[in-house]
Chain A
Amino acid sequence: MGPTYWWMLFGMALVTYIPRMVPLTFLDGKELPPIVSGVLSNIPYAVLGALIFPAIIFVQEGNILFGIIGVATAFLIAILGGGVMPVVLGTIGVLAIYSFFM
């Protein structure tokens, strides 16, 4: 790839690190208004919803069934009380069986 690649990598590293670092270091110890901190405490759950849908449905291009089976399996294992690991490995397992026979 050559030196251009390494410059690009440097740029990518920088623009990835800034959004991670700036709020944690520069907001430290600052009291935010209650409505702002209320919104911020909502972020973890909202972002999970936005990260999962709709991307999970289209994870295998042109095969929506794959995504739907994945969603159903993961939710089922999670609702039954499986932790993160059983959910991940169980869903991969079910989809591996599905992909093997398709």
Chain B
Amino acid sequence: MKNQFIAGLKAGLSIAIGYFPIALTFGLLAKTTGLSLMEATAMSIFVYAGAAQYISLNLISFGVDPVTIVINTFIVNIRHFLMTASLNEKMHRAPKWVKAIYSFGITDESFSVLATGKEEKIPTAYAFGVTIIAYGSWVIFTAAGHVVGANLPEFLQVAMSIALYAMFIGLLVPAMKGNRKVVMLAALAAVIHCIIYIGELLSTGWAILVSTLGSAILIEIIYARRSKNATVMFKEKEES
């Protein structure tokens, strides 16, 4: 169990490093938005959701009322329903309260690291390892960003804004290799999201939810039909 925990810490290290620039930038932006060190760090401690936190800063700076900000946060995070329902299929069984604890650490990134792993079933200790190191990085570097972020050279601050997305690509590409279904899932979701974006049909939170679910369902139907056809063809061959 201890080994699984350490293996989890190692797998989570890439997230922790990926969070470094993102959290640092968040801390910096929080400061320019007018949050104190304690307020900014507390948001990372208690909310712990990168995209939602960035959006909330934006809304705070526009003077949007707190209730709207909370509703917005919920909409942005609805996608986690899908992720944790999906992850549940892969996790080792554990007491409810244990799962309730590590579920706090499920983010886009920790979910991706856990769900795209090679293992058939994920041990609970491994999940704790992945989530704890990522969470620690997020909280510590939020505070660091608030304190020293503004001293970083401008070109580096700009470059670091790519970190989150580069990380997603780093997680996706290895799974795409030799797996056509994965390529189609990601590509279709991306296309749907782009269409929604260009048509200004939905807000970002809903758009991610709809494009993810749309792609996952459509591709599943295509593959289910295809494997059915394959068995039919196979049977016809046998009969003739």
A42:B158 contact, CB within 8 angstroms: no
A78-B194 CB under 8 A given contacts A12-B43, A22-B84, A41-B86: no
Within 8 A of B (CB), among A51-89: 51-56, 59-60, 66-67, 70-71, 73-75, 77-79, 82-89
B: number of interface residues (CB 8 Å):
100
Contact A91 B84 (CB under 8 A): no
| Total number of A residues with any Cβ neighbor in B under 8 Å | 75
- Whole-angstrom distance between the alpha carbons of A88 and B171 in the complex? 10
A40 with B89: CB separation less than 8 A: yes
Interface status of B226 (Cβ within 8 A of chain A): no
* CB-based contact A49/B86 at 8 Å: no
- B224 near A19 with CB under 8 A, answer no
Residues of chain A having any CB pair with chain B under 8 Å: 1, 4-13, 15-17, 19-25, 27-29, 32, 35, 37-56, 59-60, 66-67, 70-71, 73-75, 77-79, 82-93, 95-96, 98-100
Some 13 contacts from A to B, beta carbons below 8 A apart, are A5-B39, A8-B70, A12-B73, A13-B46, A23-B85, A28-B94, A40-B85, A43-B212, A84-B15, A84-B171, A95-B158, A96-B155, A99-B155
